[in-house]
Amino acid sequence: MIASQLLERKLLDHNLYMKKRLVFTGGGSGGHVMPALTIIKKINQNEEYDVHYFGGIQSIERELVKDYKLTYHAIHTGKLRRYLSIENLKDIFKIVLGFFEALFILFRFTKKNTLVFSTGGFVSVPVVFAAKCLGIRVFIHEQTSRVGLANKLCSKVCDKVFVSFEDSIKFFPTEKTFFSGYPLRDECYQKDMGNIVINDIDLKTISKPILFVTGGGNGSFLLNELIKTNFQELISNFVIVHQVGSNFIEEYKKIKHADYFPVPFIGKEMINLFKLATCTISRSGAGTVCELLAVGKKSIFIPLKIAQKNEQYFNAVEAKNKLGSLIITEDELNNETFLKAIREIGSNNPAQQTQKKNGLEFLVKEIQTELVLK
């Protein structure tokens, strides 16, 4: 009996040793994590791969990956800054520590059966460089139209770079950079919409035009105040679905109106809301822009002014050029420009089929091919 159990354990260990191992890293914000999770969900539907995720000890990615079948490795990491700061001295030690932590874990993996896929963010740097030291192949993906410092550094040592926007190719070594597109959820391309229930009301049954406002998962004080200031005019023309963020929800629950739906966070209903809403007002993170491009909805973008290299503005320019979406910079933003943009969108904003490429299929194929060839 004992001999049989030992043999079974050895076979299990051998199978795990020989199984293709896919290592993801990226974090610091949901914008880096969600593309990775979209790929993980698609590529590991049949649990063909042994999936691992390297992230920060107390970073957002640790929470976001909980519902996925993978092994999470928490490492130390420090933020990379393009400006002089005393914090850089502290964080360099964290980055070095994270490098050795990643090196120790990756050393146990077989080089032949392992691929590291990075979606950027400062947590990815020690993992990518540790993988390079061990001879493990590394792919990176840049979501934004401009380049994050982490991916810029990692592009020096990685094997392939994939970008969401063709214009981003010029920022990386051209011989190993490929236009993949952004990895979008399959729901973006599905015509049918399920029920979208907010406050026990199915929004598909509402005849009045729907205005969807989102400042991201944490909300946006600027966008929230904009809705509050122009509330009466907006509510006379729209039903408002407002993702305010968990820190603001109690304040906005006090604004009572039958046609106003404040919520702390929108989850799986997000894509369907993009499709259903007559007008969406949002910041212009890469994921939001690419999803709205995929569903073909012209929208209003208010880019985050302090975003690195003004990347949110250039993300929004992609949607403006392809769909005619409207951009209001923070310097231009006031009640007059805001309401003018809403009137320009109007009450009839049908979807336009302008973007058929989904980076998800491209990236999954690249990963599968790479691991088969090893």
Q: Write out the chain's pLDDT in tens, 374 residues.
A: 455 544 444 444 444 455 799 999 998 877 899 999 999 999 988 788 999 999 999 888 998 899 899 999 999 987 765 555 666 667 788 889 999 999 999 999 989 899 999 999 989 999 999 999 999 999 999 999 888 889 999 999 999 999 999 989 999 999 999 999 999 988 898 888 877 888 889 999 999 999 999 988 778 999 999 999 999 999 999 999 999 998 999 999 999 899 999 999 888 789 999 999 999 999 999 999 999 999 999 999 999 998 777 889 999 999 999 999 999 999 999 999 999 999 999 888 888 876 667 899 999 999 999 998 66
What's residue 280's pLDDT?
97
Looking at the structure, do residues 329 and 367 belong to the same domain, yes or no? no
In a domain, 352, yes or no: no
Looking at the structure, do residues 147 and 191 belong to the same domain, yes or no? no
Looking at the structure, do residues 148 and 221 belong to the same domain, yes or no? no
Number of domains in the chain: 2
Looking at the structure, do residues 230 and 339 belong to the same domain, yes or no? yes
Domain region containing 94: 2-183+358-373
Looking at the structure, do residues 248 and 311 belong to the same domain, yes or no? yes
Looking at the structure, do residues 30 and 156 belong to the same domain, yes or no? yes
What's residue 358's pLDDT?
87
Cβ-count burial of 37 within 10 angstroms (0-12 exposed, 13-18 middle, 19+ buried)? buried
Considering only CA atoms, which of 336, 356, 352, 355 is closest in space to residue 344?
336
In a domain, 30, yes or no: yes
What's residue 164's pLDDT?
94
Looking at the structure, do residues 302 and 338 belong to the same domain, yes or no? yes
CATH number assigned to the domain comprising residue 156: 3.40.50.2000
Cα–Cα distance list, 286 to 147, 259, 281, 304, 314 (Å): 12, 30, 15, 12, 10
| Count of beta carbons in the 10 Å neighbourhood of residue 357 | 14
Looking at the structure, do residues 177 and 200 belong to the same domain, yes or no? no
What's residue 320's pLDDT?
95
Looking at the structure, do residues 127 and 227 belong to the same domain, yes or no? no
In a domain, 350, yes or no: no
Question: What does the radius of gyration of the chain's CA atoms come to, in whole angstroms?
Answer: 22
CA 244 – CA 355 distance, rounded (Å): 29
Phi-psi region of 256 (alpha: psi -120 to 50; beta: other; left: phi over 0): beta
In a domain, 278, yes or no: yes
